[in-house]
Chains A and B, each alone.
Chain A
């Protein structure tokens, strides 16, 4: 371990970390943009779900490197060549989570919304999607973390990411570089995951959390009223 290598290359390290973060986050977000309407369609038309799910699984099974190579003639050696396959991979977790999220809306809730005069679209936007948020974010967490780690493969076709340190470190037989790349990828994944957890907490304060301490207190406060009133 050559510690002095780190401050000496701080600018490059910072740059590739940012590149890698982008290659992780952008595909997950694009995947979200695609999977929400796709998931809604799969819930609306049940027959659509099995073929969509199989297609997503097949895409996920394709080796990333093979997809990069297939795309090079069209998109060149650009970020896009990495982003497209990673986006397709993310669908494999995001679509099922969107579908499960929408299906997690309890039937009485759906019925109550309809009976109060919510049209289909309004019910979707105001009731069903908000209730699906926890599961969608759970899918997003997996998508972001796997995209961050897969992005490094893009280095093989010259799209810069933390993967650069693996290749360069190997070629120069310089383990420090490999180690730094590895630690940063893990750190990046953890940070993104944590941000998503925080986002979920903020977006879904209505969700029963594991902070059990709060719940009994509330129940006790409410109980006499419910029984006595």
Chain B
């Protein structure tokens, strides 16, 4: 656990980078510090491993004032990832990763073994071990940076704008990777970013800073989106926070309609009855394993000759499905909006049809969720 107690950082020229900050970062949690540039988020981060010392106040690590510890020893127990990775250009990838283990005396063999382990963990091919940093892409370098920070298995990981120097696609994959790693490792992660999307995506808790080094709001991403404390926070979160908040609501809260569905081998007349029963102009046709095949229009089914099977109808692609137990309401809404029929298909873990959505059913679910926010979060990205 990391605790900031009334921490202020004032520079000799009078600039106040951090103003009387109180912050508690629970062990095993991902805390994101976010805000515009000059809001003191990076300064706060750097006070945890004493790259910067506070002017007043205390920073405690597991109850101990870090001011009392030797900075080099303290730092070896805290992983640090920075924007441009900051890899040692003159060392191979494995030696870069093995830096801290070597520093704390694990010996060459053990350190390199650990480096190989970490390369695997962060998704780097073993063939890269003997390469030098200049031979790697930006995304790969950043993975090495993360592996290097984790090498000595520190309980705390500090990340200073770790993904902002890579292109958006690589950034998204690195964020997913961090979420996946964190689910296994349960480090105390403090991540600084200016990207509120990133904060919402990876943070268990998000601390929004305002210019002048003051904390504007500290909350879970879901609560931030649902109840911003003031206009500054609301403005900072961006215009579509209502939609984004749906990412934190599980699709399982949605009542799906399982009537307008039919097996492909069922008689077309039966499928037509299913459509009529649900009042829909469409029926979802499934294969023998209940996997979706496509939508059949009621008119189309009606025009089929007597004795035809439902699967004989001309089918319209069903578009994206969403996982009923794994995805969020946002994914369900998105799939519905994109569907040519205005209905999206909810599937179980094996990809079998559970039921279909409608705008009406989504509206009901969203309204219900608005009244009683669900705990726990469905991470869209992780589930895809």
**Segment at the interface with B among A72-80, A103-111, A180-188:** A103-111
Q: Which A184-229 residues sit within 8 Å CB-CB of chain B?
A: 204-208, 215, 218-219, 221-223, 225-229
Residues of A within 8 A of B85 (CB): 108, 112
Q: Which B231-266 residues sit within 8 Å CB-CB of chain A?
A: none
A88 at the interface (CB under 8 A from B): no
Asked whether, in the complex, the Cβ of A206 is within 8 Å of the Cβ of B89, the reply is yes
Shortest B260–chain A CB gap in Å is: 37
Shortest A111–chain B CB gap in Å is: 6
Asked whether, in the complex, the Cβ of B123 is within 8 Å of the Cβ of A208, the reply is no
Q: How many Å lie between the Cα of A178 and that of B128 in the bound state? A: 55
Asked whether, in the complex, the Cβ of A118 is within 8 Å of the Cβ of B72, the reply is yes
Q: Mark B73-94, 1 if CB is under 8 A from A, else 0.
A: 1111010101111111111100
Residues of B within 8 A of A221 (CB): 127
Asked whether, in the complex, the Cβ of B137 is within 8 Å of the Cβ of A205, the reply is no
Q: Pull 21 A–B residue pairs with CB atoms less than 8 Å apart, ordered by A.
A: A106-B84, A108-B82, A108-B83, A111-B51, A112-B82, A115-B80, A115-B158, A116-B80, A117-B74, A118-B72, A119-B72, A206-B134, A207-B134, A215-B135, A219-B135, A221-B127, A222-B135, A225-B123, A226-B138, A227-B173, A229-B173
Residues of A within 8 A of B99 (CB): 116
Residues of B within 8 A of A222 (CB): 125, 128, 135-137, 140
- Give the nearest-CB partner of B170 in chain A: A226
- Give the nearest-CB partner of B91 in chain A: A206
Q: How many Å lie between the Cα of A192 and that of B69 in the bound state? A: 50
The size class of the interface chain B forms with chain A is 35 or more
Q: How many Å lie between the Cα of A215 and that of B132 in the bound state? A: 11
Binding site for A on B (CB under 8 A): 49, 51, 71-76, 78, 80, 82-92, 99-100, 103, 123-125, 127-128, 131-140, 145, 148, 158, 169-170, 173, 177
Residues of B within 8 A of A223 (CB): 137
Residues of A within 8 A of B49 (CB): 115
Q: Which of the residues A106, A117, A119, A225 comes within 8 Å of B100, measured between beta carbons?
A: A117
Shortest B187–chain A CB gap in Å is: 16
Asked whether, in the complex, the Cβ of A206 is within 8 Å of the Cβ of B90, the reply is yes
Q: How many Å lie between the Cα of A116 and that of B82 in the bound state? A: 11
Q: Mark A114-142, 1 if CB is under 8 A from B, else 0.
A: 11111100000001001101000000000
- Give the nearest-CB partner of A126 in chain B: B88
Q: Which of the residues A106, A112, A219 comes within 8 Å of B137, measured between beta carbons?
A: A219
Residues of B within 8 A of A108 (CB): 82-86
Residues of A within 8 A of B72 (CB): 117-119
